[in-house]
Chains A and B, each alone.
Chain A
Amino acid sequence: MFGKLTIDALPLYSDIAVAGALITVFGALGVIALITWLGRWRYLWTEWLTSLDHKKIGIIYVTLALIMLVRGFIDAMMIRTQQAVALDSIGYLPRDHFDQILTSHATIMVFFVAMPFVVGLFNVVVPQQIGARDVAFPFMNSVCLWLTASGAALVMTSLVIGRYSTAGWAGYPPYSEVQFNPGVGVDYWLWAILASSVASMLTGINFLVTIVKRRATGMRLMMMPLFTWSALCTSILMVFAFPALIVAAALLGLDRYLGMHFFSHGDGGNTMNYINLFWMWGHPEVYILILPAFGVYSEVVATFSGRRLFGYESLVYATAALTVLSLIVWVHHFFTMGASQDVNAFFGRVAPLVAVPPGVMIFDWLFTMYRGRVQFSVPMLFTLGFIVTFVIGGMTGVLLAAAPADSPMQNTTFLAAHFHNIMIPGALFGYFAGYQYWFAKAFGFRLEEKWGRRAFWACIVGFYLAFVPLYVLGFMGMPARLDRYYAADWQPYLIVAELGGLLILCGISFLAIQLGVSIRDRAALSVPTGDPWNGRTLEWATASPPAAYNFAVVPHVNGTDAWWAIKQAGRAGHRPARFHDIIMREDSSAGVVIGATSFVFAFAMIWHIWWLAGLGGLGMFAAVLSQIFRNHAEHRIAASQVEAIENRRAMAPALAPGAPT
């Protein structure tokens, strides 16, 4: 009746697991209680859960990312603490639990922090940057959001019911096969990955079509803002790389559920094929994560230097070059796994080339700042921290990309330090910078500066303290993922790393405090003109927060930095002779229903509750059907209403309580 689900699924095997489960359960109950107490269920449903507005969808994505960042970071602190204390001892975490946390930390950070953050920023910013009123496929946008949330919910559920995978975030077979891992852990991982991957692939299609087809008139490709360029390239990668992961995960699922032999040990399985397929996706994935960050840096550097971007074309070509190169270098993730010398030699020669485009980009940013009037705003601080620190990570990457140099360092903490060096000061700082930069656009008030600065400094100093020791340890030969060790000279470094982790914890707390303080002081921090930074690109032309339709009149674009050109020509705030009706897509509950039923389906599949899986599947199918044959799913905003909204916006600066713009 309930498949494999029994009372033993409760995590009573260790106190720490119980604590994790209780925090999750009470956290969820607390949120539900809060919403009920505030009486906001109806509001939440009609304004957010069923909304097809890309801006709201983007905000929900970023919120999901930040919540999962907390969970993923707690995992990280648990790992750091275990490694700091586990010299000649078993530490405080049982090994099985430690392995679960390692796996969940990485899976969450890649799939449920970084990806949602990226897609969230795309959603909020890109349509406005190209002068569009919405993305090409608003309903699919909603479905992707709720599929991603469903995957995140699965990972959180594994804290309460059952266990998580211990097979690492890459889930290598044959360890991840049923033979060695018959429990539900790998299945939790698998279904969350599949949900997230399908959502990402469809999101890629959505933004690809949006950017190709929905640009404002006159905006040619070489006039698009750099963030939109990075969104285009990222979308291309999402469309073409995620199929490899979907295939790898699906085949592993077939092995586990139907006893097939794709990657099994014996009976004709080929485990190397999994690794090949996984990294065929895995390398483009890291560019999917970093290109948007580069796009943010381009925008931030230009705005806060008060200058046009230096070398616009070179930045575009560098982004495009990275996109193409990322598809032909994946073997460097498994140089040491037995491929032939020819294969290793080819990939070992091509892989270091990926360092060239970012180098070009960094020079472009530096030249933009040179002779500009640089304002050290919080986004700019994150950018400068990135430029300095990322270069180190890049250099260690080149070291690892050369096959002979990779051999002694593969799977040591040197590797862990390298990719965290790229992901934290590279990608995460970019997302933070984007969050700080565009928060005012999304909500109408800025984030408070003081706590933002403190968060930056805590994060960057904490990063150095946490990961430079890992580089050193890698040279000393410490493998990654150890839960205990016996070399006494490693411990001091690991203790320093623990301190670094605590400092980053402070940084994240400061970000949370910043948010609270900003909401409290939002009147003083408001931005009635919608353009707090004197921006250059079109998203600053809309109100903050924007009307549902973004632009009452879609501007005609003549060059890069379209909004700057409009302001220079004195046409900012220009009102047309008359307004027109605007047609927007109607909201729909089918997206959140698909998310919920997909969760039910996946949960039932994990626990082998076949009748429930059938119900969940039917529910998804019905929800999809209810939408795809609708012929008239728009609603019309009358011209008079548009005019009223625009009038209110025009009067806003006069009504604001003396706030700076």
Chain B
Amino acid sequence: MTDSVITAVPGEQTATEEAERAIDEKAYGFWVYLTSNAIIFALLCATFAVMSHNTAGGPDAQSLFRLPYTFAQTMLLLASSTTFGFASAAIAAGQRSRTLVWLNVTFLLGLGFVVMQISELYGMAAAGAGPWRSGFLSAFFTLVGTHGIHVSVGLLWIVLLGCEAHMRGLNPFVVSRLHRLGLFWRFLNIAWIGIFSVVYLPGIV
């Protein structure tokens, strides 16, 4: 495979070559992990689709979903992807403080998304439309909740990496971890596009 270049002299390794190879492998491994995570999300979506009418006499999508709210949430998340893009550009330019600024903005936008998500789910549960009410609601809460948990993990990751970048600067390890965080963040965006296309929009139609 052409993706990584192993040195021409067999058996000779320098520390930088080893580190480079490890970084390349980690990026690829993370990519493969994301594809398996995508399957998990897809199966949760399929489960939702199968159960989308199993309301067991309880509230259904029409009564629960609010389009403007979901639109606002979506905008927050998509905006955070754009700001992460600015952070990536700053990383490429080796500018630590600009990177940290954009990471902070991304964090805040993502946090806004999560807060809106929690408040939506909490509101539904408090009104008696919790995941224990019906199969449809179980599927909804689990799918959306899983996505929210992933985003929260991403937020924690941003905090930890931001600290590391602050303390150790933009060394190759930090850069590679930021790269993987970026993959993760964009993946969550893609998952959200899938979720609102499968869950919210058809539910309101």
Asked if A and B form a direct contact in the complex, defined as CB atoms under 8 angstroms apart, the reply is yes
Given known A258-B131, A260-B132, A551-B11, contact A243–B40 (CB-CB < 8 A): yes
Chain A 234-277: CB-based contact to B (< 8 A → 1; otherwise 0): 00000110111011000100110011111010111110010001
A209–B35 contact, CB under 8 A? no
Asked whether B29 lies within 8 Å of A205 as measured between CB atoms, the reply is: yes
1/0 per position for B21-46, CB-CB distance to A under 8 A?
10011101100110111011001100
Partner of B10, one of A259, A268, A555: A555
Q: Nearest-CB distance from A577 to chain B (Å)?
A: 11
Do residues B142 and A554 form an inter-chain contact, with CB atoms below 8 A?
A: no
A206-217 toward B: CB 8 Å interface, digit per residue (1/0)? 101100111011
| Residue contact B3 to A268, C-beta cutoff 8 Å | no
Between B11, B24, B40, B168, the greatest number of chain A beta carbons within 10 A of the residue's beta carbon is seen for B11
**Interface residue from A136, A270, A581 paired with B135 (Cβ < 8 Å):** A270
B29 touches A269 (CB 8 A): no
* Complex: chain B residue closest to A281, CB-CB: B43
Cβ contact within 8 Å between B32 and A251: no
The answer to whether A247 and B47 touch across the interface, beta carbons within 8 angstroms, is yes
- Residues of chain B within 8 A (CB-CB) of A76 are none
Interface-located stretch among B51-59, B61-69, B91-99: B51-59
State the CA gap A261–B50 with chains docked (Å): 13
Please measure, in the bound complex, the distance between the C-alpha atom of A136 and the C-alpha atom of B26, giving whole angstroms: 8
Is the Cβ of B10 less than 8 Å from the Cβ of A239?
no
**Cβ of A96 < 8 Å from any Cβ of B?**
no
Evaluate contact between B11 and A554: CB separation under 8 angstroms: yes
Task: Specify the chain A residue showing the minimal Cβ separation from B55.
Answer: A268
Bound CA–CA A277/B135 (angstroms): 16
- Report the minimum CB–CB distance from B35 to chain A (whole Å): 7
Stretch at the interface among B12-20, B116-124, B194-202: B12-20
Contact B138 A213 (CB under 8 A): no
Residues of A within 8 A of B132 (CB): 258-261
**B interface, over-half SS:** helix
A interface, size bucket: 35 or more
**Residue B115, interface by CB 8 Å:** no
**Also in contact, A583 and B18, with CB within 8 A (given A258-B131, A277-B43):** yes
- A-chain residues with CB within 8 Å of residue B168 when the two chains form the complex: 631
Contact B50 A268 (CB under 8 A): no
In angstroms, how far is the closest chain B Cβ from the Cβ of A56?
21
User: Number of B residues contacting the other chain (C-beta, 8 Å)?
Assistant: 49
Q: Which residues of A contact B142 (CB under 8 A)?
A: 251, 254, 260, 262
Q: Are A240 and B36 in contact (CB under 8 A)?
A: yes
Contact between B56 and A239, CB atoms less than 8 A apart: no
Interchain CB contact under 8 A, B18 and A270: no
Which residues on the B side are within 8 Å of A205 (C-beta)?
Answer: 29, 32-33, 36
Q: Closest approach, in angstroms, between the C-beta of A179 and any C-beta of chain B?
A: 13
Contact between A554 and B18, CB atoms less than 8 A apart: no
User: For residue A216, which residues in chain B have a CB less than 8 angstroms away from its CB?
Assistant: 10
A634: Cβ under 8 A from any B Cβ? yes
User: Are A634 and B18 neighbours in the complex by a CB distance under 8 Å?
Assistant: yes
Chain B hits for A579, CB < 8 A: 11
What string of 1s and 0s marks CB contacts (under 8 Å) between B133-169 and chain A?
1111111011000000000000000001000100010
CA distance A215 to B129 in the complex (A): 54
Is the beta-carbon distance between B8 and A217 smaller than 8 angstroms? yes
Complex-state Cα separation, A551 to B11, whole angstroms: 8
Minimal Cβ-Cβ distance residue in B for A576:
B11
Say yes or no: is A556 at the interface (Cβ < 8 Å to chain B): yes
Which residues of the partner chain A approach B164 to less than 8 Å between Cβ atoms?
A: 629
Instruction: For B35, list chain A residues within 8 Å (CB).
Output: 239-240
Given contacts A247-B43, A269-B54, contact A261 B138 (CB under 8 A): yes
Q: With A217-B6, A254-B138, A262-B135 as given contacts, are A631 and B173 in contact (CB-CB < 8 Å)?
A: yes
Q: How far apart are B173's CB and chain A's nearest CB, in angstroms?
A: 5
Task: Decide: B11 and A552 in contact? CB cutoff 8 A.
Answer: yes
Once bound together, how far apart are the Cα atoms of A23 and B55, in whole Å? 50
Find out whether the CB atom of B173 lies under 8 angstroms from the CB atom of A268. no
* Cα of A582 to Cα of B13 in the assembled complex, Å: 7
Bound-state CA distance A264–B136 (Å) is 12
Interface centre among A221, A247, A268, A629 (most CB of B within 10 A): A268
Given contacts A208-B32, A251-B142, contact A631 B135 (CB under 8 A): no
For the A-B complex, the count of residue pairs with Cβ-Cβ distances under 8 Å equals: 138
List of A residues within 8 angstroms of B12 by Cβ: 580
Q: Are A267 and B135 in contact (CB under 8 A)?
A: yes
Most buried by B among A260, A277, A552, A554: A260
> Which residues on the A side are within 8 Å of B133 (C-beta)?
261, 267
A140 CB, nearest partner CB in chain B, Å: 8
Q: How far is the CA of A634 from the CA of B33 in the complex (A)?
A: 24
Q: Does B1 contact A (CB under 8 A)?
A: yes
A244 in contact with B39 given A205-B33, A629-B160 (CB within 8 Å): yes
A137/B54 in contact, CB under 8 A:
no
CA distance A258 to B133 in the complex (A): 11
Chain A residue numbers with a CB within 8 Å of B173 are: 631
Question: Are A213 and B50 within 8 A (Cβ)?
Answer: no
Bound-complex Cα distance A87 to B21 (A): 64
Q: Are B10 and A261 in contact (CB under 8 A)?
A: no
Measured between C-beta atoms, what is the minimum distance from B23 to chain A in Å?
11
CA distance A575 to B3 in the complex (A): 30
Interface residues of B in 97-118 (CB under 8 A from A): none
Q: Which of A209, A242, A264, A583 contacts B32 (CB 8 A)?
A: A209
Given contacts A209-B29, A247-B47, contact A217 B3 (CB under 8 A): no
A309 at the interface (CB under 8 A from B): no
Q: Output the nearest chain A residue to B17 by Cβ-Cβ distance.
A: A583
Q: What are the interface flags for A513-553 relative to B under an 8 Å C-beta threshold, 1 for contact and 0 otherwise? A: 00000000000000000000000000000000000000111
Contact among B25, B131, B141 for A213, CB-based, below 8 A:
B25
Q: B40 contacts A273, CB within 8 Å?
A: no
Decide if B40 touches A247 in the complex (CB within 8 Å). Answer: yes
Residue A201 is within 8 A (CB to CB) of chain B in the complex: yes
A120, chain B: closest CB distance, angstroms: 21
Distance in Å from the Cβ of B63 to the closest Cβ of chain A? 15
B-side contacts of A221, CB under 8 Å:
1
CA–CA, A283 and B138, complex, Å: 27
A262 x B47 contact (CB < 8 A): yes
B138 touches A270 (CB 8 A): no
For A261, list chain B residues within 8 Å (CB). 54, 56, 131-135, 137-138
Residue of A at shortest CB range from B32? A205
* Nearest 6 pairs of A and B residues by beta carbon: A268-B135, A268-B54, A553-B11, A260-B138, A268-B56, A268-B134
Chain B residues engaging chain A, CB cutoff 8 angstroms: 1, 3-4, 6, 8, 10-13, 15, 18, 21, 24-26, 28-29, 32-33, 35-37, 39-40, 43-44, 47, 50-51, 54-56, 58, 131-139, 141-142, 160, 164, 168, 171, 173
Chain A residues near B (Cβ < 8 Å): 136-137, 201-202, 205-206, 208-209, 212-214, 216-217, 221, 239-240, 242-244, 246-247, 251, 254-255, 258-262, 264, 266-270, 273, 277, 280, 551-556, 576, 579-583, 625, 629, 631, 634
15 contacts between A and B (CB under 8 A): A217-B8, A240-B35, A251-B142, A259-B132, A261-B132, A261-B135, A261-B138, A262-B51, A267-B133, A268-B54, A268-B136, A270-B50, A273-B47, A273-B50, A634-B18
Known contacts A239-B36, A555-B10; can you find 8 more A-B pairs with CB under 8 A?
A201-B36, A205-B32, A214-B25, A243-B36, A269-B54, A553-B11, A576-B11, A580-B13
